[in-house]
Amino acid sequence: MSSTSSSHTAPTTALPSRQPLSRRLRERIRSFSLHPRIRRWTRKRHGIDPDPLTLPGRRIYILPTGLGVTYGFMLFAMFLGAMNYGNNLALGLAFLLGALGLTAMHHSHRNLAGVRIHSAGCEPVFAGQIARFRVAIENPSPLPRYELTVGNDVGMAQPERIEPNGRTMLEVKLPANKRGLLALPYFELATRHPFGLFRAWSVLHPELHCVVYPRPSAPGKPPPLLETDTGGAQDLSRGDEDFAGLRSFHPGDSPSRIAWKAYARDQSLQVKLYAGTEVTSHVFDWDMLAGLGVEARLSQLCRWIEDAHAAGHAFGLKLPGTHIPTNVGASHRQRCLTALALFQSDERPAES
């Protein structure tokens, strides 16, 4: 007699992994963050802020800090204890401390209302660096402003005090990850004065941009062949052969360039200008880097420009649609690097 054993195996269902679930939960919690919602709402309501801007009271938001919440719970517990035991002294102290908290909230709001905000520009940076947008805060009132700071998700500046009718300069940092124009989408002006019980802030959306140069490639690839130029591609501050005229003295000018005889005659400081010094020049051409990608070409051109400027050599730049003549100086370097930063690879107009 043969017996057949049948095994009934229950179907197995794969349980969801806990890691993706926790990741989805974190993303959902992050999506309900209060600050991004406030920024989107203020951007939709107020749009791009003018420059300069006088901050009105209706643009200021205020919430208790962690210390303020603890302070509120302490007052509530003190009030319950005083009511339970009928202690008039403790009850009076609770009301006194509550009035102090309300006064602190009023002063925190007043500390921001009416300040004047200017944009003060941003120095160009290379890709991979930190762009620093300068913001000027003016205090037109006869009362000082305490512990004002600006910042964004990257970080907050150190709090500053502004004297009556005074002005201070603060920086908002933003990572510059790629070349081009970097826009500052928003920044917050905030204060925790007085006592740190409340945080008053305003979300501002200025129209500020920073030019981000390409990241220079690693040194090693030699630049194009050198030329000798004795023509117009000269830096008047470097020349020392042919006298080219006089200009007014500026702080930082070398004393050896001052026209002392002219100063003795008319009592005004003037500086001698020279031109015609023989210099080494380069022409950095886009077509010399055939075989490289767009960003690789721009990085190599950026490296050559930086090396030539540091060595004091004159250089020119040729890009599709752009030809910058040979020259020297800081303004010429900035012009060439800006052309690299704003270069659009999908446009190939005829070369001028």
Q: Decide: 134 and 120 in contact? Cβ < 8 Å.
A: yes
Q: How far apart are CA 161 and CA 148, in angstroms?
A: 6
Q: Which of 314, 83, 52, 172 shows the shortest CA–CA distance to 75?
A: 83
User: Hey, is 314 helix, strand or coil?
Assistant: strand
Q: Decide: 191 and 103 in contact? Cβ < 8 Å.
A: no
Q: What local confidence, expressed as pLDDT, does residue 106 receive?
A: 93
Per-domain residue ranges of the chain: 34-212, 214-235+278-344, 242-275
Length of the chain (residues):
352
Residues 223-237 as b or e (16 or more Cβ within 10 Å = b): beeeeebeeebbbbe
Q: How far apart are CA 162 and CA 151, in angstroms?
A: 17
Return the structure tokens found at 103: 């006064």
CA atoms lying within 13 Å on the CB side of residue 158:
4
If you search the block for the tokens 């509530």, which residue do you land on?
Answer: 76
Q: Is the peptide bond before 194 cis (omega within 30 degrees of 0)?
A: yes
Q: Decide: 121 and 135 in contact? Cβ < 8 Å.
A: no
Q: Is the peptide bond before 52 cis (omega within 30 degrees of 0)?
A: yes
Q: Decide: 352 and 323 in contact? Cβ < 8 Å.
A: yes
User: What distance, in Å, lies between the first and last C-alpha atoms of the chain?
Assistant: 101
What does each of the 352 residues of the chain score in pLDDT, given as a tens digit? 444 444 444 444 444 444 454 555 455 544 444 567 766 777 777 778 788 889 998 889 899 999 999 999 999 999 999 988 888 998 999 999 999 999 999 999 999 999 999 988 899 999 999 999 999 999 999 999 999 999 888 888 899 999 999 999 999 999 999 999 999 888 989 999 999 999 999 988 888 899 999 999 888 777 766 554 444 444 444 444 556 566 666 665 667 667 777 777 766 777 776 655 455 678 888 888 888 889 999 999 999 999 888 888 888 899 988 898 888 888 899 999 999 999 987 544 333 3
Q: What local confidence, expressed as pLDDT, does residue 14 receive?
A: 44
Q: What local confidence, expressed as pLDDT, does residue 48 receive?
A: 81
Cα 72–chain centre separation: 37
Measured from the Cβ of residue 242, the count of other Cβ atoms closer than 10 Å reads 11
Measured from the Cβ of residue 310, the count of other Cβ atoms closer than 10 Å reads 9
pTM of the full structure: 0.69
Q: How far apart are CA 282 and CA 241, in angstroms?
A: 22
Contacts with 269 (C-beta within 8 Å, 6 or more apart), sequence order = 248, 249, 258, 263
Q: What local confidence, expressed as pLDDT, does residue 251 receive?
A: 62
Q: How far apart are CA 337 and CA 304, in angstroms?
A: 11
